[in-house]
Amino acid sequence: MAPICIKTVLISESVDPRCRAILEEHGICVTEKHNLKKEELIAEIKDYDGLVVRSATKVTADVINAADNLKLIGRAGTGVDNVDVDAATKKGIIVMNTPGGNTISAAELTCALLMSLSRNVPQAAMSMKQGNWDRKKFMGAELYGKVLGIVGLGRIGKEVATRMQAFGMRTVGYDPITPPEVSASWGVEQMSLEQLWPQCDYITVHTPLMPATVGLLNDETFAKCKKGVKVVNCARGGIIDEEALLRALESGQCGGAGLDVFIEEPPKNRPLVDHPNVISCPHLGASTKEAQARCGEDIALQIVDMVNGKNLVGAVNAQILAGTFSQESQQLIKLGEAVGAVLQSCATSRKPLSHAHIITQGDYMKTCGGYMTSAVLVGLLNHGSGCRANLINVLSLAKDNGIVVNESHWVTEVAAAGMCKVEVKGDGCSFKATGSVQGGVPVLLGLNDCVFRQPVSLTGNLMFLQASASPQLLSSVAGVLASEGVQIDSFSAPVDHNGDVWYCLGVSSLLPDLGVLKSFVKDAAQLTI
Give the active site residues. 236, 265, 283
Question: Residues 350, 427: contact at Cβ < 8 Å?
Answer: yes
Q: Give the per-residue pLDDT at 367.
A: 76
Contact call for residues 155 and 100 (beta carbons, < 8 A): yes
In Å, what is the CA distance from 142 to each residue of 42, 83, 176, 256? 52, 41, 30, 15
Which residues sit opposite 433 in a β-bridge?
422, 447
Q: Which residues of the chain carry a pLDDT beneath 50?
A: 1
At 510 the three-state DSSP class reads: coil
- Which residues on neighbouring strands pair with residue 496, listed in sequence order? none
Half-sphere exposure of 492 (CA within 13 A, CB side): 22
Strand residues in 334-477 grouped as ranges (E): 353-361, 404-410, 419-426, 429-438, 441-447, 450-457, 461-468
DSSP string, 233-260: E-S-TTSB-HHHHHHHHHHTSEEEEEES
**Contact indicator for 205, 240 with CB cutoff of 8 Å:** yes
What are the pLDDT digits (tens) for 470-523? Answer: 888 899 999 999 999 999 999 999 998 788 899 999 999 999 999 999 888 999
**184-207 residue pLDDT tens:** 999 999 999 999 999 999 999 999
Write down all domains in the chain, each with its CATH number in brackets.
8-101+289-318 (3.40.50.720), 102-280 (3.40.50.720), 326-453 (3.30.1330.90), 460-528 (3.30.70.260)
Supply the pTM of this predicted model. Answer: 0.77
**What pLDDT is recorded for position 320?**
82
Query: Strands across the sheet with 94-97, in order?
Result: 29-32, 8-11, 50-53, 72-75, 94-97
Dump pLDDT digits (tens) for 134-186.
999 999 999 999 999 999 999 999 999 999 999 999 999 999 999 999 999 99
> CB-side exposure of 419: number of CA atoms within 13 Å?
15
Using an 8 Å Cβ cutoff, are 398 and 381 in contact? yes
Residue pair 389/381 in contact by the 8 Å Cβ criterion: yes
